[in-house]
Amino acid sequence: MLQFAREEPGRIRPDRVIVVADRAPGRRYGPAKCAARARQLFGVEPLWCPQDPAVRAALHAADPAAPLTADDLPAVVDSTGWVQTRSEATPGLPIVGVDLCEGAVLPPDLRDADIRVRLADRPPSDVDHGLPRSWLVYEAAEIPARPFLHQLDFVLHFPPAGSEATLSRVALEAAAAGCVVVTPEPSAALYGDAAVYAEPAGLPELIHRYATDPALFAEQSRRARAVVARAHHPRLFVQGVRAAAGAAPRNGVPDPRVTEMGPSGDLAAERDAVTGGRG
């Protein structure tokens, strides 16, 4: 939005402008151009607020002079009302899915699995997508992300080769829905116990192990839901915004619209408590 805003001054004159970066710069946006446009629009130097450590590193590499907030602003996943408790994988073939709307790559053709794919958001097309005929394939407009996730036992999220591992909302919502999320080991700092880790070659063995062991599947599903509920609770987002904006807590009174959850009032400590200090 900033990069393509009109080249004219705005009429709002705030004390501070904070730009939340939920994706790494590069093809999506250039930090220097966004900062220049923010100065033109609002008359102040913007402060960048990354949403995860990988985005923070990418922003610093792209523009070492860009001012960054002290803490990352956590993504919010409010799963109230749509979380389900899962005791085991679907009997028979485990249901494995991948949502391509966030830039994940296709899974291998797992033989002993029911594979379902949600294609990237684009206009519907009659062009053959080239996927195996045995896979169930949805256009993005045919089914929203959450109903898609509720079909699945396992969700695979593998970034394209050579790209930085960044936090995926699809993976977080899948964990919150009780799916077993599988992603590569470099993503462990982002998800902690909300996911399990494997490379593509190890997927068949990992999926078979969790699908045939109800106790193992149920425990990972429970752990993933608990991690997302604490590390991505709306309360942490509110705390992060207040910290970035330099606002003090209102006499320790929580926002009445935000339900308290978890013992810590410290953003970094709260996230470390659920990721084992890895993220």
Report the pLDDT averaged over residues 207-230: 95
Asked whether residue 178 carries a pLDDT value surpassing 50, the answer given is yes
Asked whether residue 258 carries a pLDDT value surpassing 80, the answer given is no
Q: Return the pLDDT at 264.
A: 39
Q: How would DSSP label each residue in 100-148?
A: GGGTPPPPP--TTSEEEEEPPS-----S-----TTSEEE-GGGS-HHHH
Q: Return the pLDDT at 212.
A: 96
Asked whether residue 269 carries a pLDDT value surpassing 60, the answer given is no
Contact between 225 and 175 under an 8 Å Cβ cutoff? The reply is yes
Token pair of 247 as six digits: 């606002």
Confidence class for position 67, pLDDT limits 50, 70, 90: very high
- Distance, CA of 181 to CA of 191 (rounded, Å): 10
Q: For residues 213 and 15, which has the higher predicted lDDT (pLDDT)? A: 213
Q: Return the pLDDT at 278.
A: 46
Confidence class for position 262, pLDDT limits 50, 70, 90: very low
3-state helix, strand, coil in the chain (%, to 5): 35, 10, 50
Report the pLDDT averaged over residues 82-105: 86
Confidence class for position 101, pLDDT limits 50, 70, 90: confident
User: For the chain, what is the mean pLDDT?
Assistant: 82
Q: For residues 215 and 119, which has the higher predicted lDDT (pLDDT)? A: 215
Contact between 199 and 184 under an 8 Å Cβ cutoff? The reply is yes
Report the pLDDT averaged over residues 203-231: 94
Reference 50, options 155, 211, 167; nearest CA is: 167
Give kind and range of the element (H or E) at residue 183.
strand 180-183
Asked whether residue 201 carries a pLDDT value surpassing 60, the answer given is yes
- Distance, CA of 104 to CA of 107 (rounded, Å): 9
**Three-state secondary structure call for residue 209:** helix
- Distance, CA of 206 to CA of 200 (rounded, Å): 10
**pLDDT tens digit string along 112-155?**
899 999 988 766 555 556 788 889 999 888 998 889 999 999 99
Q: Return the pLDDT at 167.
A: 82
Reference 166, options 184, 149, 150, 148; nearest CA is: 184
Confidence class for position 109, pLDDT limits 50, 70, 90: confident
